[in-house]
Amino acid sequence: MTPYYQDDAVTIYHGDCRKIMPGLELVDLVLTDPPYSSGGMMRSDRVGSVKSKYQLSGRPSYPQFSGDNRDQRSFEKWLALWLAEAFLGTKSGGCVGVFIDWRNVACVIDAIQIAGWVYRGLVVWDKKAGRPVLGWFRGQHELCVMGSSGPLDRDVTKCGPEVGICQRGILSHIVESGPDKKHQSQKPEGLFRDIINTRNDWQTVLDPFMGSGTTLLAAKNLGRKAIGVEMEERYCEIAAKRMAQEVLPLEAHGGG
């Protein structure tokens, strides 16, 4: 396979992850933010563009992305297909993290287990703000479903001086906005950095739905290696440009 982009830390492939993952090296962590396929109440929500579904008039416009039009049954089956490929491409003791919202979180929890992963629980992303709902709860969080390929390795001799840190279960980062936002559903780089930094043995990270490349950027800024796959060539181009920018020194990173 010929990479779309490659440097010393990052490799990007343009195409369907289900076809590309079998040819990749084994990785330590699969961390990804796939299309949620949630929120639409009518059939028109599933056949229309993501712009009509998510983007409000007067707001910045972002390139289209595909795969956000499945109902729950097909969404779970689709998840299990690529998660099974990801499982085969992950080292024993490696992990997976899949972002989702409350509507389809049950689908992801079931799908990772169908694919062979051990379900390990949820990480909460506190967005610090959310759309108010009168008489109900503000929607200010999303979830990352975590799993492992077999037992989690606690042997410090294999992971360096320390296995990692005792990470918080609720990670607070403000929603991405402004000129650095390149994707409609782009998440903060610090959020991915916090997750990747949890374990020192997560040295090679795979994002099968890399979008604008935020997972890859976080891994690169932490001195890890990263592989990204994306079906939309426009986002491959955007991600490649982001990777080519100067990497921030580690001391410049604040806590999330």
Superfamily (CATH) of domain 5-246: Vaccinia Virus protein VP39 (3.40.50.150)
Q: What would the pLDDT profile of 168-201 be if each residue is shown by its tens digit?
A: 999 999 987 666 766 566 799 999 999 999 999 9
SS3 152: coil
The yes-or-no verdict on residue 252 having pLDDT over 60 is: no
14-28, 164-178, 241-255: which has the minimum mean pLDDT?
Answer: 241-255
DSSP per-residue string spanning 219-237 = HHHTT-EEEEEES-HHHHH
pLDDT band of residue 149 (cuts 50, 70, 90) is very high
Q: What pLDDT sits at residue 176?
A: 72
The CA-atom distances, in angstroms, between 135 and each of 41, 123, 129 are 21, 26, 17
pLDDT per position as a tens digit, 90-135: 999 999 999 999 999 999 999 999 999 999 999 999 999 888 889 9
> Residue 39 and residue 131: Cα distance in Å, rounded?
14
Q: What is residue 251's predicted lDDT score, i.e. its pLDDT?
A: 43
- State residue 242's pLDDT score: 92
CA–CA gap between residue 199 and residue 176 (Å, rounded): 25
In this predicted structure, what is the pLDDT of residue 63? Answer: 58
Q: What 3-state class would DSSP assign to 131?
A: strand
Q: Which amino acid is at 35?
A: P
Q: Is the pLDDT at 250 greater than 50, yes or no? A: no
Return d(Cα 60, Cα 52) in angstroms, integer. 13
Q: What is the pLDDT of residues 29-88, one digit of tens each?
A: 999 999 998 755 444 455 554 444 445 445 555 455 456 678 889 999 999 999 999 999
Quickly count: other Cβ atoms within 10 Å of residue 143's Cβ. 19
Whose structure tokens read 């390139």? 63
Helix (H, G, I), strand (E, B) or coil at 50: helix
Domain ranges of the chain: 5-246
Bridge partners (DSSP) of residue 231 are: none
Q: Contact 109/117 with Cβ under 8 angstroms? A: no
Rg (CA), the chain: 18
Residue 127: both structure tokens together: 């967005």
DSSP single-letter state for residue 15: S
From CA 132, how far away is CA 157, in angstroms rounded? 48
Beta strands in 74-169 (DSSP E): 90-100, 118-131, 139-148
CA–chain centroid gap for 50, Å, is 18
The confidence score (pLDDT) of residue 175 equals: 84
Supply 194's token pair.
């916090």
